[in-house]
Amino acid sequence: MSSVGGVERLGDAPLPEAPGAWMRFAVGGEELAVPGSVVREVASAAEVSADDRAPDGVLGFLARRGHKIPVFDLGAFLQVPASRVAEGHVLVVLTAGRCFGLRVTRVFGLTDLALQGMRPLPPSARSGPANHLFFGAYPREDRWLLLFDVDQFFSVAAEALGFGFSR
């Protein structure tokens, strides 16, 4: 466990600068957030073009400015039940010079979070694999807001799926 600005956290990835706006969203019944600075667009999942050749975990692609942006099924990676139909939204994110989409169930919008309130991911926050994909958790009234590490996700997803993204 490491400490950044007095905030204890799991993992080695740097924390986003604090304070800042975070994009809150849901995947199945879990509420997550990513730094607002990485979100480029929120699109309808209905815009995703399915590709039968896409590996498991990839729903298809969004066409943007002459490019095909892969859309990952975040629910599949987190093993959270989420519909594979054209419902919900796609968060188009940019990290490490690469753009990709995350299929999510619902988008709540931007919220300011003070990192001083962040906690290490408690075992009660979520059960299941992929806990290494979170910076930590932020306590809410009746549940935890899970702070999702987009850079770590991209590394894991690209390796698992054999994606060779070009910048």
DSSP alpha helix (H) spans, the chain: 74-78, 150-161
Residue 139 in any domain: the answer is yes
In angstroms, the CA 32 to CA 91 distance is 12
Residue 98 in any domain: the answer is yes
In angstroms, the CA 21 to CA 4 distance is 18
Number of domains in the chain: 1
**Domain CATH for 73:** 2.40.50.180
What's the confidence (pLDDT) of residue 55?
Answer: 76
Residue 52: how many CB atoms within 10 A of its CB?
A: 5
Residue 68 in any domain: the answer is yes
Task: Give tens-digit pLDDT for 75-85.
Answer: 888 887 655 54
Residue 166 in any domain: the answer is no
Residue 157 in any domain: the answer is yes
Which domain does 54 fall in, by range?
2-161
Residue 96 DSSP class? T
Task: Give tens-digit pLDDT for 92-118.
Answer: 999 888 889 999 999 999 988 876 788
In angstroms, the CA 31 to CA 111 distance is 13
Position 50 confidence tier, pLDDT thresholds 50, 70, 90: confident
Give the angle 135-12-97 at the CA atoms, nearest 5°: 80
Residue 106 in any domain: the answer is yes
In angstroms, the CA 22 to CA 27 distance is 16
In angstroms, the CA 148 to CA 33 distance is 6
